[in-house]
Amino acid sequence: MTPPEITDSHCHLDFPDFADELPDIIARAHEAGVTRIVTICTKLRAEPKVRAIAEAHPSVFYAAGTHPMSVATEPMASVDELIALSQHPKFVGIGETGLDYHYTAESAEAQKQSLRLHITAARAAGLPLIIHARDADEDMADILASEMKNGAYTCAMHCFSSGPALARAALDLGFYLSMSGITAFPKSEALRDIFAAAPLERILVETDAPYLAPPPKRGKRNEPAYTAHTARCAAETFGIDYETFATQTQMNFDRLFTKAAAWDQAA
């Protein structure tokens, strides 16, 4: 029986964890029903490698930006640079960008500057912003809302594991919340409650591979095929069957990542 189709909306296939295994990893994803994968470039100097992965595999798309934890050690991205990269036919999002005060609070001001540059680029390119938020809920909500006043843009809150206030702020702005393997951990009841209160039409699923493998793979290297484990748990969170959840999240992904959806239709 063919499994329902789903999309891994965020992973990192260029990381060393996957060296020399990509064909097998992508084949396992397809067997699990994961028909599309978005691989994320976290440092712009790595963009050529990430782009090459997307070019080599029909089911893989990519996005690029400067991860907030790397802002202090990488050149500041420019709006023009990000817009130029976005012209590639398989480039479908701007980021990941955002704020991380857990490990890198000392670069908070530079992170804010970088975030605003990425938002400007996403707005200009007409592509969704991909946000990483950790221990920075108040500043994140403030910047996302204030930037919306400068012009509309779309956004995925990747691997959302923040509090209910940021979830509500993001949803009120029309953004999407993405469920990672964290949502399947036994002790993540409070996080599952946040998702259960959100509109189903604003939910995405992801792995963030090679990190955060969901049960029953927890503690092992994550990979796109395991999106199915997270999605099955997510379906239970919403009280619906897996096929219904998969179908809805596919529609959600297509609505947000319009460039990937258009590629699929043209393929």
Cα–Cα dist 225/207, whole Å: 9
Give the SS3 label for residue 210.
coil
Give the SS3 label for residue 49.
helix
HSE toward the beta carbon, residue 108, CA cutoff 13 A: 12
Domains of the chain by residue range: 6-266
Write the CA distances from 139 to 74, 144, 154, integer angstroms: 22, 9, 18
Give the SS3 label for residue 215.
coil
> What pLDDT tens digit does each residue of the chain (267 aa) get?
789 999 999 999 999 999 889 999 999 999 999 999 999 999 999 999 999 999 999 999 999 999 999 999 999 999 999 999 999 999 999 999 999 999 999 999 999 999 999 999 999 999 999 999 999 999 999 999 999 999 999 999 999 999 999 999 999 999 999 999 999 999 999 999 999 999 999 999 999 999 999 999 998 999 999 999 999 999 999 999 999 999 999 999 999 999 999 996 676
Select from 72, 97, 94 the least CA-distant residue to 83: 94
Look at residue 93 in the predicted model and tell me its pLDDT.
98
Look at residue 267 in the predicted model and tell me its pLDDT.
63
* Stated pTM of the model: 0.97
Look at residue 248 in the predicted model and tell me its pLDDT.
98
Joined together, the tokens standing for residue 25 give: 């990893």
Joined together, the tokens standing for residue 221 give: 């290297």
Write the CA distances from 207 to 38, 154, 225, integer angstroms: 10, 21, 9
Topology of 6-266 in CATH? TIM Barrel (3.20.20)
Give the SS3 label for residue 245.
helix
Look at residue 113 in the predicted model and tell me its pLDDT.
98
Write the CA distances from 19 to 24, 49, 58, 75, 224, integer angstroms: 11, 12, 19, 26, 15
Q: Which residues of 228-267 are buried (b: 16+ CB within 10 A; e: fewer)?
A: bbbbbbbbebbeeebeebbebbbebbbebbebbbebbeee
Look at residue 20 in the predicted model and tell me its pLDDT.
87
Measured in whole angstroms, the distance separating CA 64 from the mean position of its chain's CA atoms is: 11
Residue type, 141: A
Look at residue 1 in the predicted model and tell me its pLDDT.
79
